[in-house]
Amino acid sequence: MKKILLILVSVFILTSCQSHDFNFKGDSENWYAEVLTQKNGDRQEQSFKIKYEGKNLEKVKNKDITFSFQSDNGLQGQITQKLSESGTLESNSPSSCSGCNFLNKESEIVFTIEWNGEKEEFILKN
């Protein structure tokens, strides 16, 4: 009986300590993107980092960049922000959803980015 109890307690501790944080990454011809998700109770928070890796930073810095994302669990959104002088965008505060289907390590995020009349789409994976 003590062995069974010890095994159950060990399994509970191991499963409760599993990380529910995932870092989805991907790139295209001109862009690199990361979406970090963190599970916090019944909420999942997302933050992002985008970097322009193309050859003409002068044409895109300080310009509006629109990006959208959609995942297999229904997570979706669209954001428009100005690209920094260094060619990056980062979330200032994470967005979150409550009661949504959480992303997991097998999830994929379809990432679409639009700038200066151009558009690229690529997949972010954990």
DSSP secondary structure of 22-79: EEEEEE-SSEEEEEEEEEETTEEEEEEEEEE-SS-HHHHTTSEEEEEEEETTS-EEEE
pLDDT at 39: 79
pLDDT at 16: 41
- Which residue has 């300590």 as its token pair? 17
DSSP secondary structure letter of residue 21: -
Q: How far apart are CA 16 and CA 96, in angstroms?
A: 21
User: Strand 43-52 vs strand 95-98: parallel, antiparallel, or unpaired?
Assistant: antiparallel
Residue pLDDT tens, the chain, 126 long: 444 444 444 444 433 444 578 899 999 999 999 988 887 777 778 889 999 999 999 999 999 999 998 887 766 778 899 999 999 998 865 555 555 567 778 889 999 999 999 999 999 999
